[in-house]
């Protein structure tokens, strides 16, 4: 394999200066109803200098036309706001609705493969609508939060390969993510309680453009990159207080995630991270003075093969790389507070 040994070298120097001024005001409309208005002004300045180089027979996989050495700088500013209305039906039930805007500063292509790929992208913007309820029920033994939301993204920042086979960064279009979330905590006894959360998402690109004169592939309607279809967590805890004052905590938990599209322009099964279910358990002993504790734990007890990243398709080898999360693991942890 020495005949094809290739070395890639990346040298980067980044400087970021960020400044922000923010504030909010709350007005009591009635004893039960309140209005919150807030805002933030942001200013961001970024400078980048980088060198991308490769040596060896496979250097063409990393560079299009030899060594790339370039510097670039830019600055952006934005005013984001929020307005929220809350109403307390009782001491234990509250409803709210809000509208908020957000901003992600511009950025650069950190690993350009040619001089044409050294460019800045404009800021990304999001507008989020949210409504929900927060409730303490059954004599405060059940806390339940319900949320409906929709987020509209504009000028999404992304990296793609253009028609000249150059990886470039650009503002590629618009997307919508909407859904609902349920989270809460239920006490069966003072020492036995359940924590839970579930979220279901619908998401898609609503508009996609790779820039003037570069038609590419229209991915409007595709799922949003790295956004799951759903997420869920459940944890059951039981605390045992000993006569000495020490405490034993038993905990079992579950984490689930739906399918995730790795790339915005590809929906083949090979590019989709499959759904996953991970179970963990812990037995923890805490001394009466709380100065030290020890725990025996097991993670990923079902030995689930969790795909955490999927590499791009490599036509030369007709395949793609995958990285997996840790397999089933066990351990012992000892903590001491000085």
CATH at 220? 2.40.170.20
Q: Is residue 9 part of a domain?
A: no
| CA nearest neighbour of 16 among 50, 42, 47 | 47
The pLDDT assigned to 70 comes to 77
Give the mean pLDDT of 204-225. Answer: 74
Highest averaged pLDDT of the listed ranges 58-62, 151-155, 171-175: 151-155
Q: Is residue 311 part of a domain?
A: yes
Tokens of 271: 């590019």
For the chain, give the longest Cα–Cα distance.
Answer: 78
Domain count along the chain: 1
- Tens digits of per-residue pLDDT, 233-285? 999 999 999 999 999 999 999 999 999 998 887 778 888 999 999 999 999 99
CA-CA-CA-CA dihedral for 210, 162, 120, 102, to nearest 10? 40
Q: Is residue 79 part of a domain?
A: yes
Query: Which band of pLDDT confidence, cut at 50, 70 and 90, is reported for residue 292?
Result: very high
| Cα gap 211→224, rounded to integer Å | 19
| Cα gap 165→60, rounded to integer Å | 12
Q: Does 212 have pLDDT greater than 60?
A: no
Whole-number mean pLDDT of the chain? 88
| Cα gap 159→172, rounded to integer Å | 9
The pLDDT assigned to 176 comes to 97
Q: Is the four-CA dihedral 89, 95, 97, 100 of positive or negative sign?
A: positive
| Residue ranges making up the domain that contains 284 | 75-103+120-336
Under DSSP, is residue 92 helix (H, G, I), strand (E, B) or coil? coil
The answer to whether the CB of 174 falls within 8 A of the CB of 210 is: no
Q: Does 213 have pLDDT greater than 50?
A: no
Under DSSP, is residue 178 helix (H, G, I), strand (E, B) or coil? strand
Q: Is residue 59 part of a domain?
A: no
**Percent of the chain predicted with pLDDT > 90:** 66
Q: Is residue 47 part of a domain?
A: no
DSSP 325: -
Distances (CA, A) of 330 to 299, 304, 334: 6, 14, 14
Q: Does 62 have pLDDT greater than 60?
A: no
211 or 108: which carries more pLDDT confidence?
A: 108
57 or 214: which carries more pLDDT confidence?
A: 57
Q: Does 181 have pLDDT greater than 80?
A: yes
11 CB contacts (<8 Å, ≥6 apart)? Answer: 50, 51
Burial (Cβ within 10 Å: 0-12, 13-18, ≥19) of residue 317: exposed
| CA nearest neighbour of 257 among 274, 272, 271, 275 | 275
Q: Does 217 have pLDDT greater than 80?
A: no
Q: Is residue 99 part of a domain?
A: yes
């Amino acid at each position: 394999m020495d005949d094809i040994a290739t070395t890639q070298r990346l040298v980067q120097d980044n400087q970021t200066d960020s400044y922000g001024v923010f504030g909010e005001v709350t007005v009591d409309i009635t004893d039960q109803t309140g209005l919150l208005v807030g805002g933030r002004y942001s200013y961001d300045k970024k400078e980048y200098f980088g060198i991308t180089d490769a040596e060896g027979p496979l250097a063409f996989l990393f560079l299009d036309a030899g060594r790339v050495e370039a510097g670039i700088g830019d600055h952006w500013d934005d005013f984001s706001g929020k307005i929220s209305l809350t109403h307390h039906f009782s001491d234990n039930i509250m409803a709210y609705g809000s509208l908020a805007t957000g901003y992600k500063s511009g950025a650069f292509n950190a690993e350009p493969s040619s001089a044409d790929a050294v460019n800045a992208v404009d800021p990304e913007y999001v507008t989020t609508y949210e409504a929900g309820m927060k409730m303490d029920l059954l004599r405060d033994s059940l806390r339940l939060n319900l949320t409906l939301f929709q987020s509209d993204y504009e000028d999404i920042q992304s990296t793609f390969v253009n028609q000249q086979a150059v990886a470039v960064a650009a503002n590629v279009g618009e997307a919508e993510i909407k859904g609902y979330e349920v989270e809460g905590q239920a006490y069966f006894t003072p020492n036995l309680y359940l924590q839970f959360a579930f979220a279901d998402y619908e998401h898609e690109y609503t508009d996609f453009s790779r820039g003037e004169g570069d038609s590419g592939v229209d991915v409007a309607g595709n799922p949003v990159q790295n956004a799951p279809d759903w997420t869920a967590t459940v944890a059951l805890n039981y605390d045992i207080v000993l006569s000495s004052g020490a405490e034993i905590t038993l905990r079992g938990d579950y984490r689930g995630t739906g399918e995730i599209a790795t790339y915005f322009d590809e929906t083949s099964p090979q590019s989709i991270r499959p759904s996953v279910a991970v179970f963990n358990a812990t037995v923890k002993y805490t001394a009466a003075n709380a100065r030290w504790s020890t725990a025996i734990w097991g993670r990923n007890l079902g030995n689930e093969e969790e795909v955490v990243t999927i590499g791009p398709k490599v036509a030369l080898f007709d395949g793609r790389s995958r990285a997996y999360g840790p397999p089933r693991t066990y351990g012992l942890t000892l903590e001491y507070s000085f």
